[in-house]
Amino acid sequence: MRKEEFCDILGEISGRYVEQARAGRGAALLGRIPRGAVAACLTAALFTVLLVLPSSVRQQGAAPPGSPGGALVDHPTGTAGEDTAPATSELHISMDTIFFNEVAALTDAARIWRDPELYDHIPWDKNAVMEYYGKDLTPAYIPDGLTAAIGNGTASAIADKSGNLVEDTVWLSFYHDYYEDGSPKLTEDVAAVKGFSIAASKIGLLRDCIYLLPENEVKSSDIAGTAVTFGYRSMPYGPYDPDTHEPSGYYDMYVAEFEHDGIQYELTAEQMAAEEVVKIVSSLICGEEGSTGG
């Protein structure tokens, strides 16, 4: 099913979600149930993904958020009339329905060395990247306080002497601040970066996310018909105690892996809320900016 068809499906609104919307923010750590999801002239479709968040997804340090509210992704469906605004549908993703698989490690993302006698590096500017991928890879939703890194939207592809591409990965980064050399800056309170990066490829990503569960037990979540594998890990940060070697604390790292429109994506987010990660992924899939109800 195409994303346009999925996002335009008219569904029934559960009374439970209406009551939650009226109640406003609950006791959950992250997110808010959106208010005003029902209007007299509503042309939107509200679809709730019915999955279950594992009750025990944790590692030493902080555990991932448990039962936040929801994320709304607005999707234009056309114009109802000349004097009216474009009609939109809303994809309601309850965070209770997203699976978080515990991450054991991320493999080394360093590039494979290619013999220059056998391979050529091909610089891609933004136009070349858009022509190859058929779209701008920048997510429609970027959380407040994060800015794009210099060089986003460009890449260095690698091809063999016959012109066949062997590497086409494009990296995009969005962090709270950067050092003079362009690398993400660590935050003051937590010695770690804050923001997210996206890797995209048509022929295969160079790194892999390793989960604690066996491969056949890793669970995916459904967002607008696209299977997304979300991962979580509690990451330590220094300085470390010289005697006990204990870290100063822990921060949240989230990973999202999925394939959409023939493109493989891997998103890695640090010091970000789970809800924000889901909204970024949703905006990449549905192509519209996500929003949270009040």
pLDDT tens sequence across 26-48? 333 333 334 343 333 333 333 33
pLDDT tens sequence across 90-131? 567 788 889 999 999 887 656 678 899 999 999 999 999 999
Cα–Cα dist 173/146, whole Å: 9
For residue 281, name the pLDDT band (cuts at 50, 70, 90): very high
The terminus-to-terminus CA distance of the chain in angstroms comes to 31
Mean pLDDT of 63-75: 44
- pLDDT the model gives residue 90: 59
pLDDT tens sequence across 214-228? 989 999 999 999 999
Structure-model confidence comparison of residues 154 and 70, the more confident one: 154
Cα–Cα dist 57/233, whole Å: 9
Strands of the sheet with 155-160, listed across from one edge:
119-124, 155-160, 165-167
Contacts of 17 (CB under 8 A, 6+ apart): 33, 37, 46, 48, 92, 94
Assess whether pLDDT exceeds 70 at residue 61.
no
- Choose the weakest-confidence range: 10-14, 184-188, 233-237: 10-14
Q: Which amino acid is residue 54, in one-letter code? A: P
For residue 201, name the pLDDT band (cuts at 50, 70, 90): very high
Q: Specify the 3-state DSSP secondary structure of 154.
A: coil
Assess whether pLDDT exceeds 70 at residue 241.
yes
- pLDDT the model gives residue 4: 43
